[in-house]
Amino acid sequence: MKVIKRDGRAVDYDKTKIQVAIEKANMEVSQANRASQMDIEGITEYIEELNKKRILVEDIQDIIEEKLMEIKKYELAKKYIVYRYTRALVRKQNTTDETILGIIRNDSEENINKNITPAAQRNYIAGEVSRDLTRRLLLPEKIAKADEEGKIYFHNADYFVHPMIHSSYINIGDMLDNGTVVNGKMVESPKSFLVACTVATQIIAVIVENQSSGQVIDMIHFGKYLRKSYNKLKKQIEEEYQGKVNEEFIENLVRDRVKSELQAGIQMIQYQLNTLEVVCGKKPQVTLFLHLDKEDEYIKENAMIIEEILKQRYRGIKNENGENIIPDFPKLVYVLDEFNALNGGEYDYLTNLALKSSINYISAKNMKENYKGNIFCPMGDEHFLSLWKNSEGKYQFEGRFNQGIVSINLPQVALESNGNEEKFWDVLNERLELCFETLMCRHYSLVGISSEISPIHWQHGALTRLEKEKRIDGLLYGGYSTLALGYTGVEDTVKILKNLSIIDKEGYELGIKIVKYLRDVTNKWSKETNIDFVLCAVTSKNVVNRFTKLDKEKYGNLKGIIDKKTYMPAFYTKNKEKIGLIDRLKLENKFQKISNGGAVSEVELKGLKKDEIEQLIRFIYDELLYVKLL
């Protein structure tokens, strides 16, 4: 058997080199975590039994990593990976230095249109070093190369050196009701709404430092604490004015003070999240989930909370020039239900308030149809969790998380196929196999880590309450958490393959076929691994712009496919002027239903009349799943 080296040379297979490499890694772990001689011989025998005439050296190394994982030598596998890529250091030039100097000089791409402070520079530099270590040491070479060439997008590469999850659905109800620990200090259950808001922002600040992307807070848990404030204030005022004034006066006074506390609590959340810059140098990427439940005993209090959040979002916050601006965070996801979909419902007034600002909308009706009667929030513009039942047989979303995301560049697959549809599917399969390997790198980076790595997540209730030094492995399998495959550029892919728009019948059918195939593949991965893989439509400008830039460099003008500056994100069509808004959303509806990991449609309200907007809201409730109104 010939082994093909990285420089293309063919050398004779020598199993002693495999044995030496594993034994060197063995020396860096405890005796219990070492591979036995029998284990090592089993790996070499497996490679030899493949009976290949030629095999890439990278494929041999991949097999070694996989086999070490199979025999549960996780720590050893990580040491082997470091050994493997430490050797690569002598072969590769460190390209990070110039980027770091650019950050320091304030002329890096990272710094465009930003006022870079020393603290922010430190964060960018740390990110560049982390990204470089990930590319040169931690990722298999073929994956790092694929990311560099824009075949895939390895999200949050600047955090991969740390065993961090991607995003989380915080179990804020449990943390507030049963207490938590923040930075080593016990925080007991709040006795008022204002304190509950304060505790929530403290929790958010710690969480953002220990994961790479967004987190969800369900505001339905705060109604209870507004009621506690009401009862507390009423008792105080009754004691103060006992026998001096009538009941109506007391009630009005209590309501005024509750309203003041409500305003202060929501204002505090908004200002904290927009002025807080944590150690890692970024602001918390938080989504507040705004929904009402008819069966909720605190529905009136929760309606008051949502009303105040929407009012303050509309007013915005002042910038350094004293001008009111609408903040990017917290992101708001508002649920349309039968009682607030502008059909004469009791809570229509909340929807009318929501329409004054740019927020996201979920249809309760369609969520229930798509997710077996459940309504829950995405962790950002995408990243819906999969359906999972706890030990009580109930669907659970809070306390769960996404392990990581990798996105595929669909237009590039079409370009590499030279517009040949038959070849497209072959290239797509190769690219999807690469995506799977990359996602498993995300997964294996979390395998074997202890709850000590982030106590707020694993010990103190944000996700679970494990004992100290307990491994999180059980939460990585069986659907408790997810891995996400992202896709983008369906419109451009169809254009390359068929020279058709996605609004054409044949083009639309091909677009649906492609996304359906991606969903089938992720379902297959889930069955094979006992890990829930979800498919999501990626709308990130960073992802789309990077894919477009790299493809333009390689393919020139992209054969005239791009009418504008970039590919169209996700499944969107660039031919919006040729199709009415409602008709376009009807086309996008099916993509949403296929993309179980999330797919948001975007609609600009500018230019629409009041009755058109109301019609749109009713249409969203009846027909769509997830929409961002701008």
Contacts of 360 (CB under 8 A, 6+ apart): 331, 332, 333, 334, 381, 600, 626, 627, 628, 629
Environment class of 589 (CB within 10 Å of its CB; exposed 0-12, middle 13-18, buried 19+): middle
Task: Tokens for 278, please give them.
Answer: 């944590």
The pLDDT > 90 percentage for the chain reads 45
Question: At residue 589, what is the residue type?
Answer: N
Does the structure show a pLDDT above 80 at 577? no
Name the pLDDT band for 101 (thresholds 50, 70, 90): very low
Question: For residue 287, what are the β-bridge partners?
Answer: 216, 331
Name the pLDDT band for 120 (thresholds 50, 70, 90): low
Summarize pLDDT for 511-561 with one digit per residue, the tens.
999 999 999 999 999 999 999 999 999 988 889 999 988 888 887 766 555
Question: For residue 288, what are the β-bridge partners?
Answer: 217, 332
* Sign for the pseudo-dihedral over CA of 335, 337, 342, 348: negative
pLDDT at 606: 83
Contacts of 175 (CB under 8 A, 6+ apart): 199, 203, 460, 461, 462
The pLDDT > 70 percentage for the chain reads 87
Nearest-angstrom CA–CA distance, 608 and 403: 40
* Residue 153: C-alpha distances to residues 100, 149, 408 (Å): 22, 9, 7
Is the Cβ–Cβ distance between 345 and 618 less than 8 Å?
Answer: no
Q: Which residue has the higher pLDDT, 428 or 160?
A: 428
Is the Cβ–Cβ distance between 482 and 386 less than 8 Å?
Answer: yes
Among the residues of 71-140, which ranges form H helices? 74-89, 96-105, 118-133
| Residue whose token pair is 């392990």 | 403
Question: Around Cβ 113, how many Cβ atoms within 10 Å?
Answer: 4
Environment class of 257 (CB within 10 Å of its CB; exposed 0-12, middle 13-18, buried 19+): middle
The secondary structure of residue 569, as a DSSP letter, is P
The secondary structure of residue 289, as a DSSP letter, is E
Q: Which residue has the higher pLDDT, 327 or 250?
A: 250
Name the pLDDT band for 6 (thresholds 50, 70, 90): low
**How large is the average pLDDT for residues 48-63?**
82
Is the Cβ–Cβ distance between 215 and 285 less than 8 Å?
Answer: yes
| Residue whose token pair is 């230019």 | 607
Name the pLDDT band for 112 (thresholds 50, 70, 90): very low
Name the pLDDT band for 462 (thresholds 50, 70, 90): very high
Nearest-angstrom CA–CA distance, 421 and 407: 21
Rounded (5°) CA angle 97-100-101: 85
Give the residue from 191, 215, 220, 219 showing the smallest Cα distance to 203.
215
Rounded (5°) CA angle 446-6-554: 85
Does the structure show a pLDDT above 90 at 168? yes
Summarize pLDDT for 25-43 with one digit per residue, the tens.
888 777 878 888 888 888 8
Does the structure show a pLDDT above 80 at 85? no
Does the structure show a pLDDT above 50 at 105? no
Give the residue from 42, 56, 67 showing the smallest Cα distance to 13.
56
* Three-class HEC string of 363-413: EHHHHHHHCCCCCCCCCCCCCCCCCCECCCCCECCCCEEEEEEEEEEHHHH
Give the residue from 403, 397, 554 showing the smallest Cα distance to 472.
403
Nearest-angstrom CA–CA distance, 78 and 88: 15
Mean pLDDT, the chain, integer? 85
Does the structure show a pLDDT above 70 at 87? no
Query: Cis (ω within 30 of 0) for the bond into 411?
Result: no
Q: Which residue has the higher pLDDT, 288 or 248?
A: 288
pLDDT at 377: 93
